[in-house]
Amino acid sequence: MNPEDKIEYLKLEASKHKFEGYFNLARKLKDAKIVERVSDDILFLLTYMAAISTADIQRDRIFGYAGLQKEYEASKYFKQIYILASKWGYVYAKACKYISQRLKDEYLSKFFGRMSNILSSGEPEKNFLKQEKLTREEVYCNEYERSIESLKKWTDGYTALMVSVTLVVTIILVSVMIYNIENIETIVLLILLLTVFICGIALFIIYKAAPAEKKIHTLSRRSKEQEKIRFLSRILLPMGLISVAVLILMGEKLQFILLAVTLFTLPIGFFAMIDDKNIDERDNSFPAFIKTLGTLAGTTGITVRSSIENLDMETLGCLRPGVEELHAGLSMGFKSKLCWEKFIGETGSELINRCSRIFTDAIELGGDPAEIGDIVSASSLAIVLLRMKRKLVSSGFRGLAITLHAVMIGLLIFIMEIIAKFSGLVSKMSESYNSTQGGASGIGMSMFNVAESVPLLYKFTLSVIIILTISNTLVIKIVEGGGNWKLLFYGGLTSGLSALCIILIPPVVSRVFTFQT
């Protein structure tokens, strides 16, 4: 072997080890993580491959383009197959078989096994990918619907758990008033830990039961509401953190801290809810838009720009302003990619982001616009319909959770204030009895005298209120899905309700329960 051949051999061995190390790293990924991410992404990746295959491009280009879609978790496996085939001389059927044998994810392993059989039989990839996309669409819809049913049951369980927690805290408060408990601090600490544990377990279970999906894109260009959210968050969040920290250091009462949280988070959350509503409306209009656009371009043989010009803008709903700007940009001769990126960014939707890129990439490769429009429209419509089913569950639970939160917090404050009033009355009666009896204490009076424990019970009640406020904020967001900025809306709402209960209920108790001594 001459020196040049030896150098080439060493380079080949180094790249081989590098590839094996890369594959071993991918293989070490946790199975649960793969299943959670791939179950959401594989449908869009198959939609992408089915769409670009309509252009009748070569096999290596299909795998190459699929491997470049880094936003999909499963794309790395297609990239590995492409490397095996293009760099190491594997035929694609053997490369698919090799990858399928080393994957722990059951669906992907079987998928690449089926692809290996199809490629070895000589059947066109186009037919296989279309059929596999339809199959995966049905499987994904079935899994999503099962998750919704499971989520519905667990939300009922969460409601029962929160009622039980409130009941336990209420029993502890009443028991302290009736019985002379010596180790009250230990009991209070254990109940707080139990409350945190129960809320944490409930949130974890609901998080696992809820369908995992990405609703808002992460592009640099965003919708108008998202720009307002970004602007307000840069101002209000730092001011809010400083204000809350100052209030805590000054020793202010919890209700004023919660009001401060509401004041600085609710405006941001308000725009987050508007943005979420607008994204839903745009997503609902998108399947019909993309199918009509593809049909016009495919059946009449005109360009996408001309097809947009022939669209009936009255039927586009919330998409109309964006589509009109898209048409204006294309008509003025700007690059198609830049015009579509502007349109996608201003919708704020990840669904439109993925589907629009699939549509434009497949069109640029020379695919049939009508066929591509049908493929993309079917996948996007399936996601839209599933979200509607989820919304039926989340909207009912949201109203119940907010109402239940106000009732639970109000009940705890109400009972605590009654205990404080009753304790004050017993203390006065005990002092009066001691003065008339010459210092002798009444056993009955001392049983109900919990004046010394009232400050601890107040701290205990307020701690439970904080835990319930955080838990109810998180659970509503998890069940409903959407962007993380919605946490600020529900956090501000639940904090405001808690603060109002703490402020309004004590005067009511003082006025209603006025004892004559």
Whether residues 406 and 502 share a domain: the answer is yes
Band (pLDDT 50/70/90 cuts) for residue 440 is very low
Among candidate residues 362, 383, 404, the one where a domain is terminated: 383
Confidence band for 429, pLDDT divided at 50, 70 and 90: low
User: Does residue 137 belong to any structural domain of this protein?
Assistant: no
Least-confidence region, from 352-361, 387-396, 425-434: 425-434
The residue whose two tokens read 């202010």 is 252
Query: Whole-angstrom Cα distance, residue 346 to residue 341?
Result: 9
* Mean pLDDT of the 39-53 span: 86
In a shared domain, residues 106 and 196: no
pLDDT (mean) for 37-45: 69
For residue 41 the two structure tokens come to 């992404």
- Over residues 106-127, mean pLDDT: 86
User: Hey, is 228 helix, strand or coil?
Assistant: helix
Give the single-character DSSP code of 2.
-
pLDDT at site 252: 87
**Which of 60, 62, 42, 43 lies closest to 52 in space, CA to CA?**
62
516 pLDDT higher than 70: no
Q: 294 and 271 share a domain?
A: no
Regarding whether 274 and 161 lie in a shared domain, the answer is yes
Q: Is residue 141 part of a domain?
A: no
Range of the domain at 469: 151-280+387-512
pLDDT, greater one: 396 or 172: 396
User: Which H or E element spans position 327?
Assistant: helix 320-331
Report how far residue 105's alpha carbon sits from residue 30's, in angstroms, rounded to the nearest whole number. Answer: 10
Do 379 and 396 belong together in one domain? no
Residue 80 to residue 222: CA distance in whole angstroms = 33
Residue 514: pLDDT band by 50, 70, 90 thresholds? low
Residues 496 and 465 in one domain: yes
This prediction has a pTM of: 0.83
Which amino acid, 419? I
Confidence of residue 465 (pLDDT cuts 50, 70, 90): very high
Give me the pLDDT at residue 155, please: 92
Percentage of the chain lying above the pLDDT 70 cut: 85
CA-to-CA distance for 174 and 369, rounded, in angstroms?
71
Half-sphere exposure in the Cβ direction for 286 (13 Å, CA): 31
So what's the pLDDT on residue 183? 78
Q: 369, 304 in Cβ contact below 8 A? A: yes
Domain count for the chain, please give it: 3
Look at 52-61, 264-273, 430-439, 486-495 and tell me which has the smallest mean pLDDT: 430-439
Structure token pair of residue 154: 């667990």
- Answer with the residue of higher pLDDT: 345 or 125: 345
Distance of CA 128 to the CA centre of its chain: 33
Checking if the pLDDT of 230 tops 90, the result is: yes
Q: Within a domain: residue 330? A: yes
Least confident of 94-103, 116-125, 140-149, 252-261: 116-125
- Which among 82, 106, 123 is the end of a domain? 123
Q: Considering Cα of 430, then 431, then 437, then 440, what sign does the dihedral take? A: positive
- Rounded to an integer, the average pLDDT of 369-397 is 92
SS (H, E, C) 18-58: HHHHHHHHHHCCCHHHHHHHHHHHHHHHHHHHHHHHCCCCC
Q: Does the pLDDT value for residue 233 go beyond 70?
A: yes
The first and second tokens of residue 136, run together, are 């995966």
pLDDT, position 243: 93
Whether residue 264 sits in one domain with residue 391: yes
Q: Measuring CA to CA, which residue among 475, 459, 486, 463 is closest to residue 192?
A: 463
Section 263-280 average pLDDT: 94
The answer, yes or no, to whether residue 247 has pLDDT greater than 70, is yes
pLDDT of residue 434: 57
Residues 416 and 508 in one domain: yes
Query: Does 213 score more than 90 pLDDT?
Result: no
- Residue recorded with tokens 């400050």: 455
Mean pLDDT of the chain: 83
Amino acid at the residue 318 = C
Q: Are residues 364 and 376 in the same domain?
A: yes
Helix (H/G/I), strand (E/B), else coil: 349: strand
pLDDT single digits (tens) 119-178: 888 778 888 889 989 998 998 999 899 889 988 999 999 999 898 888 888 888 877 767
Name the residue type at position 388: M
CA distance 268 to 205: 28
Q: H-type helices in 437-485, by residue range?
A: 443-447, 454-480
Mean pLDDT, to the nearest integer, of 465-482?
A: 93
Residue 323 has pLDDT above 60, yes or no: yes
Q: Looking at residue 491, what is its pLDDT?
A: 94
Q: Give the pLDDT score at 433.
A: 55
Would you say residue 134 lies in a domain? no
CB 241 within 8 A of CB 191: no
Among 209, 147, 222, 181, which residue's Cα sits nearest to residue 387?
147
Residue that terminates a domain, selected from 342, 366, 383 = 383
Cβ atoms within 10 Å of 58's Cβ, excluding its own: 9
Tell me, yes or no, whether 325 lies in a domain: yes
Residue 456: per-residue pLDDT: 84
Query: Does residue 454 lie within any of the structural domains?
Result: yes
**Phi, psi angles (nearest 5°) of residue 315:** -90, 0
Residues 256 and 398 in one domain: yes
**pLDDT band (50, 70, 90) for residue 486:** very high
Q: For residue 417, is it within any domain? A: yes
- Whether 361 and 375 share a structural domain: yes
Q: How far apart are CA 143 and CA 147, in angstroms?
A: 6
Same domain (yes/no): 262, 347: no
Per-residue confidence (pLDDT) for residue 379, from 0 to 100: 92
pLDDT at residue 180, rounded to an integer: 65
Q: Evaluate whether residue 138 is within a structural domain.
A: no
